[in-house]
Structure 1
Amino acid sequence: MMQFSTFGSSDFVLIKPTHHQNRLINCSKLLFSSTQHKNNSVGFNLSKHKANHRSIFVSKSKQESFEFDERKSPNEVKEEIKQCYELINRLGRGIVYLGSSRMGSSHSHYVQAQELAKEIANLLDSTTWSGAGPGLMDAVTQGALLAGKPVGGFKIGREAGEWTASNFHPYLPSENYLTCRFFSARKHGLVDAVVRNNSFDKTAVVALPGGIGTLDELFEMLALIQLERIGSKLPVPFLLMNYDSFYSKLLDFLDVCEDRGTVSKGEVASLWKVCNSNSEALAYLADFYCISSGDISQKKETKLQSTHDLPS
């Protein structure tokens, strides 16, 4: 029988195989090794600041293997949280995106998320933060880069999708993201990146369509806002992007919670803004931060002028 021992706050699970299972694992390693040599590169289709796409190949031989070792001391988590805070202090607080790592560039939600990130980065003139992974996280990274705004990320060593078990981002500068070993440290980073310390900070939480990981982060953020751990000093807008009614059944369930008395009437609706389109989200943020249409037009003119000033 496989023996399991867990440790920490759901950061990792250590699996201790028996003697017979060790023999099976060794055989599996040999099989995997022979397969790996036959295909030692992974391709990424990435759009840069131009409309065209090009492929970037990352050699697997250059990828660092991600070992899920048992942590020896809580100081290891503390040190990683410190590194998260240092990265935020360097790049600045801003818009934190949550979303699926599985929706590729051909998905309509990818296109919408990329455009949304570009427009919000221009509107709030803030750093864009994400999980620095594939899927919709890649979409918002590229959107912010298209806007010419700073991008930061808290990557995890293991992602669903095409960047599985890679500690590296294929095109972000290494100084702009941190590959976290501990989920708890990564969450500390995502939370701290959105907390407003003064009225000049323009931040937001934007929850895009996603799966289990997204729902985990979404409800943790929502609970922290509910308990005023986020927004106790200055309020932080939380946008739930309900593209193609993606979250409608979840919203129906929350209505059931209100009917059953586990959630107060109107409580959830007061904590976030449900948006069915990008235009609705942009209008809400402009109103939240009292950004007039004149200010938006001026920003566009300034950006257009700076583009014309670039040498041809």
Structure 2
Amino acid sequence: MTRTVHPNRQDPGGRPRRESNGYRKGPVLLRGSLVPEETTDARLLKPEQDTSWLHQDPWRVLRIQAEFVEGFGALAEIGPAISVFGSARVKAEEPEYVLAEEIGHLLVEAGFAVVTGGGPGVMEAANKGACEADGLSVGLGIELPFEQGMNQWVDLGVNFRYFFARKTMFVKYSQGFIVLPGGFGTMDELFEALTLVQTQKVSSFPIVLVGSEYWGGLVDWLRDTMVARGTISPADLELLPVVDTAEDAVEAVLERVRVLAKERQAQEAASVEAGGAPE
């Protein structure tokens, strides 16, 4: 969609302001010259700050706490959900967009809400597919140093200042991840999830890569370099199945979800028989 500049609409500095989704700073919307040059995350992690941090950090802790409380409150009742990750730079006419849209649609048909980062590209496509299938479309946005905004297909959107709070929501409220071609942000979410599963910080949940041409080189490197050097085990590669179609992606993640559900039920039954209470 092309956005136009209206000459009669100006920012506080007197310059014409383009129409946009704006810059989200927590619950606050900013546009034009009001958009800050530095994000909340950047300020928190900035080295060599003066002693004012002694007074600022306690308030930051409260803000961080508030983000978790707001996120938990907003997402606690979304029901079974699958997260879809991928590039924000994918255009609507590209194959990955169409693929993500189909994945969102199929997930809803399977009884799941669809969770994305709420932005454009692959995220927008997955949200659109979920929305058009009359399912719940969720977006978890993040404050960035450039205007991005929540895409129009999000039914339930939560904006975060801190990446770590947002990551917690993805893992806590998703039963699996479907990962399409993407950049550093996608890789960040992918390897965060892999690490949590590998170290058993979370119950094992499915992670499916979509696009063998895109991900094949990465999987080859993991096998030929990391497994060969012994920095990961051969079994770790089983955490990363690669498929090429929307149907295979959804079936792969749902099959693993079903297996894990049966395992949990068996564990609970065994605990009850042993006289204990399920965890």
TM > 0.5: yes
Tell me the secondary structure at the aligned position of residue 90 of structure 1: coil
Residue 90 of structure 1 pairs with residue 90 of structure 2: no
In structure 1, the residue matched to 2:182 is 210
CA distance in 1, matches of 2:196, 2:248: 24
* Deviation string, structure 1 residues 218-263 (Cα, Å, up to 9, x no partner): 00001111112221xxx422111125x1011101110121111111
In structure 1, the residue matched to 2:270 is none
Shift of 1:266: 2.8
How many correspondences in the alignment? Answer: 225
CA spacing shift, 1:207–1:61, aligned 2, 3 Å = closer
Residue 240 of structure 1 pairs with residue 209 of structure 2: yes
Shift of 1:34: 10
In structure 1, the residue matched to 2:243 is 275
Give the partner amino acid of 2:39.
F
* Deviation string, structure 1 residues 42-72 (Cα, Å, up to 9, x no partner): 49xxxxxxxxxxxxxxx98599735635453
Q: Gaps (5+ residues) in structure 1?
A: 1-31, 44-58, 195-202, 292-312
- Superposition map of 1:131-142 within 5 A: 131-142=117-128
Shift of 1:150: 0.6
Contact 2:208 2:240 in 1 (8 A): yes
CA distance in 1, matches of 2:20, 2:189: 28
* Deviation string, structure 1 residues 121-168 (Cα, Å, up to 9, x no partner): 211x11111100011000100011011111112101227xxxx425x4
Match of 1:176 among 139, 152, 156: 156
Contact 2:143 2:162 in 1 (8 A): no
In structure 2, the residue matched to 1:112 is 99
Shift of 1:84: 1.3
Residue 249 of structure 1 pairs with residue 249 of structure 2: no
Give the partner amino acid of 1:278.
A
CA spacing shift, 1:211–1:35, aligned 2, 3 Å = farther
- TM-score normalised by L of structure 1: 0.64
Residue 287 of structure 1 pairs with residue 259 of structure 2: no
Shift of 1:285: 3.8
Match of 1:219 among 178, 183, 191: 191
Give the partner amino acid of 1:222.
L
In structure 2, the residue matched to 1:47 is none
Contact 1:41 1:60 in 2 (8 A): no
CA distance in 1, matches of 2:104, 2:137: 11
CA spacing shift, 1:280–1:172, aligned 2, 3 Å = closer
CA distance in 2, matches of 1:33, 1:64: 8
Give the partner amino acid of 1:268.
L
Contact 1:128 1:152 in 2 (8 A): yes
CA distance in 2, matches of 1:248, 1:289: 24
Shift of 1:280: 1.8
* Deviation string, structure 1 residues 19-50 (Cα, Å, up to 9, x no partner): xxxxxxxxxxxxx979983352249xxxxxxx
Tell me the secondary structure at the aligned position of residue 185 of structure 1: helix
In structure 1, the residue matched to 2:169 is 189
Contact 2:118 2:151 in 1 (8 A): no
Contact 2:128 2:153 in 1 (8 A): no
Deviates more, 1:278-287 or 1:59-68: 59-68
Give the partner amino acid of 2:207.
F
In structure 2, the residue matched to 1:40 is 18
In structure 2, the residue matched to 1:156 is 142
CA spacing shift, 1:251–1:263, aligned 2, 3 Å = same
In structure 2, the residue matched to 1:266 is 235
Q: Gaps (5+ residues) in structure 2?
A: 1-9, 22-28, 45-55, 260-279
* Deviation string, structure 1 residues 184-208 (Cα, Å, up to 9, x no partner): 11111111112xxxxxxxx221111
CA distance in 2, matches of 1:267, 1:61: 45
Give the partner amino acid of 2:230.
G
CA spacing shift, 1:180–1:287, aligned 2, 3 Å = closer
Give the partner amino acid of 1:165.
E
Match of 1:65 among 23, 30, 35: 35
CA RMSD of aligned residues (A): 3.0
CA spacing shift, 1:157–1:279, aligned 2, 3 Å = same
Tell me the secondary structure at the aligned position of residue 129 of structure 1: strand
CA spacing shift, 1:183–1:60, aligned 2, 3 Å = closer
CA distance in 1, matches of 2:96, 2:141: 21
